[in-house]
Amino acid sequence: MSGEPLLQVRDLRVRFRVDRQRSVEAVKGVSFDVPRDATVALVGESGSGKSVSALAVMGLLPPDSAAIAPASGIRFDGRELLALDARARRALCGKDVAMIFQEPMSSLNPVFTVGFQIGEVLRRHMGMNRRQARARALALLDEVGIPDPAHKIDAYPGQLSGGQQQRVMIAMAIACEPKLLIADEPTTALDVTIQKQIMALLASLRRKHKMSMLFITHDLALVGEIADHVIVMRHGEVREAGPLRQVFDQPQDAYTRALLHCRPPLATRPWRLPVIADYLEGRTGAGQPAPARERVRGVVPGDDTVLTVNNLGKSFDVREGWFGHRAFHAVRDVSFTLARGKTLGVVGESGSGKTTVGLTLLRLHQATAGSAIFEGRDLLAMSAREFLPYKRRMQIIFQNPYASLNPRYTVGQILLEPMRIHAIGADDRARTAIACQLLERVGLPVQAMHRYPHEFSGGQRQRIAIARCLTMKPEILVCDESVSALDVSVQAQVLNLLQDLQDEYGLSYLFISHDLSVVKYMADQVMVMQQGRVVELANSDELYRNPTHPYTRSLLAAIPGSGHATTQDA
């Protein structure tokens, strides 16, 4: 038994019913092993079937809409899981097999304390009483690095940060000391420094408890830091599998090579990022992409300034106790200039104030201090009527393409509405012509005009959001984490599009992101924020090569796969 892999998946086929007549096969004959005391990474884009495969192992597929083929096999520690009844499967999954999900706030119950939720696992699977479960929960919170566990055990999930919530999920997962831990995109929603901490925590816990781990991600840079073996999936099939170094150093499949090279590199800045199609259609060589013209970034004294921000401040009134209030200063004394046709990258951890800066400049938040000078006028001091014409000239692309488009409107209605409000175009026929041109410009067919947002992928929805911004012919575009929710290949397509639009229209970007690889590729200047303040501001090449502030150095050191990114890669 000891020589047998802990988990064996054989010819797994999962089919989802769409309606009474139609169904779709999401997993198409997938086979792989997870050895004992090892980490296997399951890699692929959204829709590749990697998460469905993990849910099949856990027995969490919806029984009313998903079906596993009879010939499929999932063998765990010598037992065939698909032959177990529901009760036996529940007893096994949660104790010997545990799972960490992508979004902790969706997985934790908001009306129960974290101590109660960890204790529930222990009472159900380990037979502990409440006192024993609480003591064990305290030890687990301490083990996963929750500060002040004696206080946090009685906190509710909403009172914790995103990183702390994910640590609670990890504590729940390891509570019963499982033999197999499945981690499904556990760091996607976290900023770069918290991501590094969670990755280090998972690796240390796996070694300490001698667990096996199935690590699911779309980011191969993360895989290189934690995995022993790699399985690459696409469209429900395994495209490549092997030891980590073999897959990374000598990838055999074109799709694997594409995933490795689609992320913006730190060492170079190519004129255009390669995308999946470049590799699958043979437009690149078998190894690294062919050397290409590189972009030169930076702001020089002669550059024209489009926006000058002086001493910007924003505070929120926060309730404290039953009757008390206090001011929370989200942005303090922020000053910078934005050059015409250039990109200012704004980086920092969650809560640093970077998004608040963008929203305040667009007057989606009301500034409490400072000025924003555009063409000699202070945008923040204008009345609503005075500011209306300037709304056209400053637009924003939000982070979540699923939430930023009205699901009841067709794409045509989404694009026409702002043009009607601002009287762009002589009539609806002229506006429709403009909308069609913009759809083609962002790489979508004209037929998309008559479809609804839910009929598009995340990358396509973000393109629609960009087209909506372009209907206003803006001069300044705030990109608020606009590619963070996208797969690496789709991210490359959107970054190429944003760069093409800047080249063509001379747009100025305020590019807000926690992904420092993307910021290095896009930005001429980088502004680093911490706790609402600017701690460093410099041209991007200089900042990445020679950061002066300790916080900047910590951010750069946390970039996945970079080692210490400040000298060797910049």
DSSP-assigned states of every residue in 176-206: T--SEEEEESTTTTS-HHHHHHHHHHHHHHH
- Residue 565 pLDDT > 60: no
Number of Cα atoms under 13 Å in the Cβ half of residue 382: 18
Residue 16 in tokens? 């989802």
Predicted local confidence at residue 189, as pLDDT:
65
Lowest mean pLDDT among 6-15, 54-63, 549-558, 561-570: 561-570
pLDDT at 192 (0 to 100) = 80
Is the Cβ–Cβ distance between 457 and 494 less than 8 Å?
no
Contact 205, 174 (CB under 8 A): yes
Averaged confidence pLDDT in the chain: 89
Contact predicate 526/515, CB 8 Å: no
The arithmetic mean of pLDDT across residues 465-470, rounded, is 91
Tell me the pLDDT band of 202, cut-offs 50, 70 and 90.
very high
pLDDT of residue 486: 77
R_g (Cα) of the chain, nearest Å: 25
Give yes or no: residues 69 and 103 share one domain.
Answer: no
Tell me, yes or no, whether 338 and 452 share the same domain.
Answer: yes
338-363 residue pLDDT tens = 999 999 999 998 888 999 999 999 99
- 76 plus 129 within the same structural domain: no
Q: Rounded distance, CA 45 to CA 492, Å?
A: 13
Lateral strand order in the sheet of 237-243: 97-100, 180-184, 212-217, 39-43, 229-234, 237-243
pLDDT for residue 284 = 65
Among 117-121, 456-460, 491-495, name the most confident range. Answer: 117-121
**Among candidate residues 175, 201, 223, the one where a domain is terminated:** 175
| Inside any domain, residue 133 | yes
Residue 289 lies in a domain: no
Do 399 and 346 lie in one domain? The reply is yes
Does residue 128 form part of some domain? yes
Question: Would the pLDDT of 449 be above 90?
Answer: yes
Residue-wise pLDDT tens digits, 242-268? 999 999 999 999 999 988 888 888 888
Which residue, 129, 145, 175, sits at the end of a domain? 175
What range defines the domain where residue 447 resides?
A: 305-557
pLDDT of residue 3: 75
pTM of the full predicted structure?
0.83
Q: Specify if 286 maps to a domain.
A: no
Q: Give residue-wise pLDDT tens across range 515-548.
A: 888 999 999 999 999 999 999 999 999 999 999 9
> In angstroms, rounded to a whole number, what is the distance separating the alpha carbons of residues 135 and 112?
17
* Same domain membership, residue 454 and residue 331: yes
**In the prediction, which pLDDT does 32 show?**
96
- Check which CATH number belongs to the domain holding 14 and give it: 3.40.50.300
Domain count across the chain: 3
